[in-house]
Amino acid sequence: MHAPRHRTLSPDKAAIFKKIDALMPELETIYIDLHQNPELSMQEVRTAGIAAAWMKKHGFEVHEKIGKTGVVALLKNGDGPVILLRADMDGLPVKEKTDLDYASAQTGVDRFGQSVSIMHACGHDFHVTWLMAVGRLLSENRDTWKGTVMAVFQPAEEIGAGARAMLEDGMVKRFPKPTVSLGQHVIPMPAGTIGYKSGVAMSAADSWEVKLFGRGAHGSKPQNSIDPVVMAASTVMRLQTVVSREVAMADSAVVTVGTLQSGFNENVIPDEALLRLNIRTFKENVRQRVLASVKRIIDSEAQASGAPKPPEYSVISQFPLTVNDEAATQRTMEGIGAFFGAERVVTVEPASGSEDFGLFGTAWNVPSVFWVIGGTDPELFARVQNGEDPSVMPVNHSPFYAPMLHPTLRTGVEAMLAASYAWLD
């Protein structure tokens, strides 16, 4: 892809960006409220209600409870393109340790039935606020554009279930076909900058839950057992060879065992162990090979241990590759660059994180563009780039992750508004 060509905003559109100043106090209040009140995946009732009420107030036709808690808000303004603008709403089962004055103290019950703390550790509070702001600005300035805006407030991105749930609830049949699907995400990058990648932009991700079966016994008589703890430990260690010995150097993959649970007492050998795994890849052929290797190793370790029955597998989540259409990315970034200037719009490497955003474009067979917004103190980012310990710079999903409120709040509004005008022009 060529670097985005220089474009300039027309005077009437440039004037709209100046109106963001007057919105900032209200947007900051909304953001802080959302940050203090995060909700887990598929539980975003309060957040969805706030978004729905705001969009109704500003003239959108609002449809609620799409895919359980999703919101679709439509604003029709004559003939023209249909742009889908997406924000995800869910928080994470993470105990916040940011020391912010408005840190979350919320708790809840997660999808596994566990009592957990809840935090917006991935910036979805920013995403919701940005889309609410852009919805209002476009509604109040309809003389500057023609077409239809479809604002999608999506649940359950963190578990890869929200986009699917909304689509399975009939989005494709119930709402107009978009011309393009647009989304953005805050990440650790210098605040005030925008990053993009044409083509494959984010990895595919597969998460499995695996039960291993053994035979319980007294801790003093291991000869009477088939120990699932040893079976699980051996499995975890052997899985480390998948990437190091079965994936080519020119390719890449990640295999992570995030959960290993077995037993309760030190002198009781249990009869089951539980593993939860996450696999990330950038190519479908690599994905298929890695998944097959992971299953082969787990099955083989169980057999080698004399397990009374084969492991049981269940899919926890599945994220597709996030692929940005080249022509649509060019057009979108030209629009964003028209406002920010070329020095603030930079190319980035494909991210190992994953998203379900691309499912909307795939379902309608339309181009998608997903870009990132920097939220990190530029001086801190530069120090880490120059060799300082990376642990001083918290990343998404960390209990210490707290993107700078300013200028991140404004930058995200400006970027999504500029991207919208690139298509509503």
Q: What gap in Å lies between CA 151 and CA 418, rounded to an integer?
A: 15
**Per-residue 3-state assignment (H helix, E strand, C coil) for the chain:** CCCCCCCCCCHHHHHHHHCHHHHHHHHHHHHHHHHHCCCCCCCCHHHHHHHHHHHHHCCCEEEEEECCCEEEEEEEECCCCEEEEEEECCCECCCCCCCCCCCCCCEEECCCCCEEECECCCCHHHHHHHHHHHHHHHHHCHHHCCEEEEEEEECCCCCCCHHHHHHHCCHHHHCCCCCEEEEEEEEEEECCCEEECCEEEECEEEEEEEEEECECEECCCHHHCECHHHHHHHHHHHHHHHHHHHCCCCCCEEEEEEEEECCCCCCEECCEEEEEEEEEECCHHHHHHHHHHHHHHHHHHHHHCCCCCCCEEEEEEEECCEEECHHHHHHHHHHHHHHHCHHHEEECCCECCCCCCHHHHHHHCCCEEEEEEEEECHHHHHHHHCCCCHHHCCCCCCCCCCCCHHHHHHHHHHHHHHHHHHHHC
Q: Which residues of 202-238 are buried (b: 16+ CB within 10 A; e: fewer)?
A: bbbbbbbebebbbbebeeeeeeebbbbbbbbebbbee
122 is in an annotated binding site: yes
């900051």: which residue's tokens? Answer: 28
158 is in an annotated binding site: yes
C-alpha distance across the termini of the chain, in Å: 22
Q: What size, in residues, is the chain?
A: 425
185 is in an annotated binding site: yes
Sequence ranges of the binding site:
122, 124, 158, 185
Sequence ranges of the binding site for Mn(2+):
122, 124, 158, 185
